[in-house]
Structure 1
Amino acid sequence: MALPVDLGAAQDRFGERSDTSVPPPPRRAPQPARPVPAPPSRPPGQPPRPQWSPGHPGAGVEARPAPGAMFLAWLRTPRPPAAPGIWRFGHVPRPVDEPEPLPTRQLLSGAALALLVGWLVWSLLFNGYLGGTWWLAPMWAMVPDAAARGHSLGAVVVAYLYYAVVTLIIAIAVGRLGRWAEVWRRYGPRAWCPAAPTQPPSPSPEEDPAQWPELRAAGAHAAADRLAAEASGGRMRDVDHARLVRAWQTVRAGWQSPSVFEAEVMRDGAAACPHPSGQRDLAGRAARHDLFTGQVRIGTTADDPHNPYSYRETGLALGAEILGTSLVAVGPAGAGKTAQLVRPLAEALCLQALAGRTSVVVVGAAGAGLGRDEDYDVVIKISRPESVYDLDLYGGAVDADEAAAVLAEALVGDLAAQHRVGDTRRPATVLAQLIGPFHAVHGRFPSVPELRELLDGAPGPLQALLDALSKAGRAAMVRDLESRQRQSGHAGDPAAQLADRIALLDRPAFADFFDTSGRSRPFSLRALDHPVRVRIDLPARGHTEASAIIARLVLAQFTASVSVREDRSLFACLVLDDAAGAVTPETVRAIQAMRSAYAGVVLTLRTLDDIPRALRGPLLGAAGCRMAFSGVTPWDGQDFAETWGKEWREIRDVTDRQIVADEPLAKVTHFLRRAITGKAPTAQSVTVRQVERERWSASELAHAVPPGHAVLSLTTVRGEHAPPLLVDLRH
């Protein structure tokens, strides 16, 4: 049984790139998969099975009995629909509007006054001070006259019962008047001890997810029984459940045969339909995940007036429906961007990839702690000789114009953003004039040293290409190459800038990388058609500018690849830790178009000053999710404040005015109040008005966000919005 996407095609992507100029095949249903080749250094085997479901609050505790019961409890926990970003696992919805708080002094004094009034009414009623015994008429109607005169036992019982009912009616009326229920809630025994967690009611067999009702409804009762036994026996985990649900979705979509699915489930149980890596989990999870809903919890919304009441003190989580609109996070060094955002997201996306739902590319500096090598299928360590995989410089393209456009974006895209070049079309044309003829002659694209020679205008390589093209009768390419020779060295020729930039990659540290001869194992981002996990380590130390070029290269290849994927039911995400220098006008336009391709990017920046001024507003506008960490500068806060806009707020203005006494008694009273309190008697005047204010001002973002917190706004791919929320990332 294959996963929802064809992982076997990724084998060719991870190895040598095809040199044939054949157009990509049309969209088709995935074929049976072949295993993805793992790096030789990867140890065989699977991580040990956890003793509890990672979504359970007790994850991280060493000893947990009854793993099957723990998994079933996790699976059956309610996940009600909620607003965007709310952690749905065990969520209890809150009212939309905040209840009006009642001061303690007013509450207790009202309760005491109501008790006094109730006692007074009861005394007057039973002592006959309220007009005789008219209120006893219903009792006498129930008691015969003879029995009442004889004071029989039945009459006495009826009388006491009637007195008790009247007393209860008075107590209920007085209790409502004095808000005794609120007093009991605040100061009763329940407020002294924490409430014990309540177990959710057991679902019916038709609604129990542990009984796999979808399979039973389709007639696959044997497979459902086998999976139910695996779950109750503790042999299933959350990744298995998510992977099997995804596999069953492919069956319902007609991509796989139901009989093949049932046969594999009956043979392998919870291990059926495996990821080609053979892994069923990640060892040493650090974040809280709920693979049932595809969420990862990153914090808790604060009890702050800026947050809507329905969001306060609720868990905040991210998922594919939110990351599909892309996320931009800004915060200074040490604010927690990597530890509290990038690492949980990378871990969650890797788990989703094991479930066959996601393909993920994580890019960061070497040593940033973005996960173990064993947690990824492909690990590319630029400039490190022990790296098993190489990065394809041309992104798996077979067309020279396409390859030139992506490479030009990586080399001089930042210069276009800074208006030092008009755009990347002329550089792309220059590259196409060189790499197209080279590909026609050699059957491959030029390596970094060869491309540098061509851009420098060295006569030897250019003349050799001209001679080979002339012999092959490629007149059109000869004209292009001769035109490039004539333009070389003239003022405004982009080749000089391209040569300077490509020279940053033509260093001894990168001699074993970006190879096009077939000696290495280049990875192409065209493999994102499959649930593959990729990590790219940038050589930030000593090669800052080269790292920026590689980051732009990966970002450009990602945006170009996700738009032409065959299977768009698979979520694709690029996580770029420290995107300084990687944002260009073309990538901003591409981010806006990725929502329809079911893909997204996560970009972190230390400050918005790392990108040109002209791109700050468009970048924040293109990303559906924006995140400002504690410690942002006021000018960064101003950009966020302008993006988040304004809202109408109710402002209460309280004015104190001194009371002037005219009568002698009033003057004496005011004199005594001033002598006792030290203040003159005043009267308050309250004015309520509606004003338009910024949701978060630049000053508040710069100075009022506590350490370990961030302000985050969210948008889903369906267009639902969540306002800027103050989030505690430590809980």
Structure 2
Amino acid sequence: MDSDGNRGDGHLDARGTHAHPVPRPAGPPAIPSTPPRPARAPGVPPLPDGADFLAWLRTPRPEALPGVWRFGHRPRPAEEPERIPGRQLLSGALIAFLIGWLIWSLLWNGYLGGWWLLPLYAMIPDSWVQPHSIGAVVVVYAYYALTAAVIMVAVGRLGRWGEIWRRYGPPAWRPQSAPAVRPPAPEEDPAAWPALRAAGAAEAADRLAADARTGMMRDVDHARIARAWQGVRNGRHSLATFTGAVMDAGAAACPHPSGTRDLPARQARHDLLTHQVRLGTTADDVRNPYVYRGTGLALGPDLLGTSLLAVGPAGSGKTGGLVRPLTEALCLQALAGRAAVVVVGAAGAGIGPAEAYDVVVRIGHPDSVYDLDLYGGTTDPDEAAAVLAEALAGDLADPHPGSDSRRSTTVLAQLLGPYRAVHGRFPGVPELRQLLDGAPGPLAELRRGLEAAGHASLLRELDARERQLGHPGDVAGVLADRVALLDRPAFAAFFDTSGQSRPFSLKALDHPVRVRIDLPERGHADASRILARLVLAQFTASVAVREDRSLFACLVLDDASGVVTPEAVRSIQRLRSSGAGAVLTLRTLDDAPRPLRGPLLGAVGCRMALAGLTPWDGQDFAEVWGKEWTEARDVTDRQIIAETPAGKAVHMLRRVITGKAPTARAVTVRQVERERWSASELAHAMPAGHAVLSLTSVSGEHAPPLLVDLRG
């Protein structure tokens, strides 16, 4: 049995999605079979008794606010408790001790009379009230000790001795250690798989529990089998098939089509039970809510489902502190059958090794195994035209009103439909460029083919295209110029539609596939921006028609410069309802057209401003984060004027001792509305290696802008 979303023959897509080196170019190759399943996670030796895995599995993960790292989390109070200054605390404790000592001295010496001994006389028999009675001596001194203890407890509570002990005593000397994880009851132990036992699969539960104890199971195995069990509960798989697979393979059951059970090397902290990856630590700063201070900051599909935009200059940590951990987490989720991920970045950007992906498309590189399908795997000319028009002319909509996407879509549809009807496929880049240029030969050949096949309606489309050629409002010339950027010698072996290559299609996002697309930014910056827009358009079109939306799909754009278009902003808004999300990074908001900056910040649910932000970028973030009511304290010092000779003498003495004139302090407290983070604070008050991050979950929960240390 395969995990949810996988195919039994080990393939992710009918066109092939396994990265096995083959010479390029090549004809349609035979899809290789799934490699043998490893007995354990690659590169991870088994533990003798699985103690670390069981400790990880049994660690508590309480419910928490959005963005809180739940693994071993200890909830904090909603409001910060009042913390007394140390000097005031110690002086109060000393005064309380002196008061207690004074009361005891007065009682002991009899200055307060003997009334406090009346309870003692009422409790002891008369025979004990004799001189030199041992019983009387013992009882009296016990009564004295009890009275002293009562006084000590009273003054201790009054002087907060317990707080002093916790703050300065031995408890503060010992390092904080996590509490030991005790084995829970069998019916609550996740390592015993109680859900399987309750459903009658006790043998499968015993097999999985044994693999966990012997160190043959890892977190990816547990998450993958749990995903497969979810498919059983949903009726997608039968219980007998699931049980047989587990009894046959144990922790290696329900494999990912690649047969891989872990990534080559992890660089971030992951918790696959909560689907989170830890990015850093929320700073202990007064601008952060007390409940968040000092907690781990983590992201998961519940937050990425609202999409994320990160803005920061080069070197601020966008790739190393955000993109790389997120892609690693999504790849692990894909191995567990819970996610599909597409990562787009420049070649050499450091977005993970090739071994961590199922498909690596290296556009412009002669050794690339896979090609990129220019039309997204669709057979509908109108859909192909809409996606391609967004890639070619989506960024021209505002500067050139005549080159909007709708007119570009119409022009492309007038050519793609007839071409496919005649040739059974869409045109390649050179053919498409010739058709858009209006070359007489290709258009005449296309007309003859349509006439021979009797496609009258498509002939009318071609007639309309020929009539518009050369008109001032025709956008075909603009599209041809953009296609020319892809019709270069470096891309000669790419974007082939004749069946002589292995094009990857984003239609494969129905499966838990891991994809990396390397863009040729060096020397082909304009072409890279077109391809980035193409991938985004294909991604949003593909996830909208998926059948299984429980498989989270995520697109990660390491550099979204030139990708922000009106249609892209609208598409990002629709991803949440499709069980998908996007992660976009920008060096500055100036990389997006000015009219689209506000809509872009409003379209994403998670917004991150990294250290080094410019003030004008900070102003956009400050506006979208809004204002909040806060308490402002105005302190006024007024000099005290003495009127009597004695008062003047005292004031003179205070001035000699302190060097300052006696003053009276007046404090005014009022509620004011202030920006959560001002543009100046974002640009100048954020430490290096930090970021301010606001979060929104797919269920609508919000987290205010938080100052986060990405190095923690």
Fold shared by both chains (TM-score > 0.5): yes
Give me the whole-angstrom Cα distance separating, in 1, the residues matched to 2:569 and 2:204: 47
1:649 maps to: 630
Give me the whole-angstrom Cα distance separating, in 1, the residues matched to 2:587 and 2:301: 24
Contact 2:297 2:708 in 1 (8 A): yes
Letter in 2 for 1:578: D
SS of the counterpart of 1:683?
A: strand
Aligned with residue 298 of structure 2, among 317, 321, 337? 317
2:27 maps to: none
Shift of 1:46: 7.1
Per-residue CA distance 1:568-615 (angstroms, 9 max, x = gap): 010000000000001111111111111111100000000000010011
1:673 maps to: 654
1:217 maps to: 198
Aligned with residue 472 of structure 1, among 431, 450, 453? 453
Contact 1:51 1:65 in 2 (8 A): no
Shift of 1:14: 5.7
2:700 maps to: 719
Question: Are 1:592 and 2:592 an aligned pair?
Answer: no
Question: Are 1:358 and 2:339 an aligned pair?
Answer: yes
Number of aligned residue pairs: give it: 702
Closer, same or farther: CA 9–391 of 1 in aligned 2, 3 Å: farther
Shift of 1:15: 2.1
Letter in 1 for 2:587: R
1:532 maps to: 513
1:265 maps to: 246
User: After superposition, where does 1:20-59 map in structure 2 within 5 Å?
Assistant: 37-40=18-21
Closer, same or farther: CA 258–434 of 1 in aligned 2, 3 Å: same
Letter in 1 for 2:100: G
SS of the counterpart of 2:515?
A: strand
Per-residue CA distance 1:97-142 (angstroms, 9 max, x = gap): 0122211111111000000000111111222222x22222222222
Give me the whole-angstrom Cα distance separating, in 1, the residues matched to 2:151 and 2:542: 75
Per-residue CA distance 1:653-707 (angstroms, 9 max, x = gap): 1011111111111112222222333322111110000000000000000001110
Question: Are 1:109 and 2:91 an aligned pair?
Answer: yes
Question: Are 1:544 and 2:557 an aligned pair?
Answer: no
SS of the counterpart of 2:472?
A: coil
2:62 maps to: 80
SS of the counterpart of 2:129?
A: helix
Give me the whole-angstrom Cα distance separating, in 2, the residues matched to 1:592 and 1:454: 34
Per-residue CA distance 1:234-285 (angstroms, 9 max, x = gap): 0000000000000000000000000111111111000000001000000111
Contact 2:6 2:337 in 1 (8 A): no
Shift of 1:65: 6.3
Closer, same or farther: CA 171–727 of 1 in aligned 2, 3 Å: same
Per-residue CA distance 1:162-182 (angstroms, 9 max, x = gap): 222211111111001101111
Letter in 2 for 1:611: A
Contact 1:409 1:553 in 2 (8 A): yes
Give me the whole-angstrom Cα distance separating, in 1, the residues matched to 2:75 and 2:395: 46
Shift of 1:64: 9.9
Aligned with residue 98 of structure 1, among 80, 89, 96? 80
Letter in 1 for 2:85: P
Closer, same or farther: CA 314–52 of 1 in aligned 2, 3 Å: farther
Shift of 1:52: 11
Contact 2:637 2:666 in 1 (8 A): yes
User: After superposition, where does 1:238-249 map in structure 2 within 5 Å?
Assistant: 238-249=219-230
Give me the whole-angstrom Cα distance separating, in 2, the residues matched to 1:479 and 1:703: 62
TM-score if structure 1 supplies the norm length? 0.93
Give me the whole-angstrom Cα distance separating, in 1, the residues matched to 2:496 and 2:43: 45
2:26 maps to: none
Instruction: Mark the runs of 5 or more structure 2 residues left unpaired by the alignment.
Output: 23-31
Structure 1 stretch 586-595 or stretch 707-716: which is displaced more?
A: 586-595
Structure 1 stretch 90-99 or stretch 449-458: which is displaced more?
A: 90-99
Q: Which structure 1 residue ranges, 4+ long, deviate > 6 Å from structure 2?
A: 45-48, 50-53
2:640 maps to: 659
Aligned with residue 128 of structure 1, among 85, 103, 110? 110
Contact 1:39 1:378 in 2 (8 A): no
Give me the whole-angstrom Cα distance separating, in 2, the residues matched to 1:196 and 1:52: 30
Give me the whole-angstrom Cα distance separating, in 2, the residues matched to 1:645 and 1:412: 34
Shift of 1:7: 3.6
1:24 maps to: none
Contact 1:366 1:540 in 2 (8 A): yes
Structure 1 stretch 191-200 or stretch 534-543: which is displaced more?
A: 191-200
SS of the counterpart of 2:582?
A: strand
User: After superposition, where does 1:227-246 map in structure 2 within 5 Å?
Assistant: 227-246=208-227
Give me the whole-angstrom Cα distance separating, in 1, the residues matched to 2:520 and 2:557: 14
Shift of 1:51: 11
Closer, same or farther: CA 105–419 of 1 in aligned 2, 3 Å: farther
Give me the whole-angstrom Cα distance separating, in 1, the residues matched to 2:284 and 2:230: 40
Per-residue CA distance 1:177-211 (angstroms, 9 max, x = gap): 10111111111122223234321333111111011
1:33 maps to: none
Per-residue CA distance 1:5-54 (angstroms, 9 max, x = gap): 144699584628xxxxxxxxxxxxxxxxxxx644236996678957999x
Give me the whole-angstrom Cα distance separating, in 1, the residues matched to 2:344 and 2:392: 18
1:23 maps to: none
Contact 2:220 2:335 in 1 (8 A): yes
Give me the whole-angstrom Cα distance separating, in 1, the residues matched to 2:155 and 2:594: 66
Contact 1:591 1:623 in 2 (8 A): yes
Question: Are 1:706 and 2:687 an aligned pair?
Answer: yes
Give me the whole-angstrom Cα distance separating, in 2, the residues matched to 1:154 and 1:14: 97
2:3 maps to: 3
Closer, same or farther: CA 555–720 of 1 in aligned 2, 3 Å: same
Give me the whole-angstrom Cα distance separating, in 2, the residues matched to 1:239 and 1:409: 38
Give me the whole-angstrom Cα distance separating, in 1, the residues matched to 2:262 and 2:11: 22
User: After superposition, where does 1:299-448 map in structure 2 within 5 Å?
Assistant: 299-421=280-402, 423-448=404-429
Give me the whole-angstrom Cα distance separating, in 2, the residues matched to 1:9 and 1:454: 41
Shift of 1:150: 5.5
Give me the whole-angstrom Cα distance separating, in 2, the residues matched to 1:8 and 1:646: 54
2:264 maps to: 283
Contact 1:107 1:183 in 2 (8 A): yes
Give me the whole-angstrom Cα distance separating, in 2, the residues matched to 1:358 and 1:385: 30
Closer, same or farther: CA 505–51 of 1 in aligned 2, 3 Å: closer
Give me the whole-angstrom Cα distance separating, in 1, the residues matched to 2:284 and 2:619: 24
TM-score if structure 2 supplies the norm length? 0.96
Letter in 1 for 2:162: A
Per-residue CA distance 1:298-357 (angstroms, 9 max, x = gap): 000001111000100110000000000000000001101001100000100000000000
Contact 1:417 1:615 in 2 (8 A): no
Contact 2:416 2:427 in 1 (8 A): yes
Give me the whole-angstrom Cα distance separating, in 1, the residues matched to 2:403 and 2:97: 81
Contact 1:14 1:522 in 2 (8 A): no
User: After superposition, where does 1:191-210 map in structure 2 within 5 Å?
Assistant: 191-210=172-191
Contact 2:371 2:495 in 1 (8 A): yes
1:728 maps to: 709
Letter in 2 for 1:575: V
Aligned with residue 501 of structure 1, among 457, 477, 482? 482
SS of the counterpart of 1:149?
A: coil
SS of the counterpart of 1:603?
A: strand
Contact 2:42 2:260 in 1 (8 A): no
Instruction: Mark the runs of 5 or more structure 1 residues left unpaired by the alignment.
Output: 17-35, 54-62
Give me the whole-angstrom Cα distance separating, in 1, the residues matched to 2:628 and 2:703: 13
Shift of 1:374: 1.3
Give me the whole-angstrom Cα distance separating, in 1, the residues matched to 2:402 and 2:681: 38
Aligned with residue 434 of structure 2, among 453, 464, 489? 453
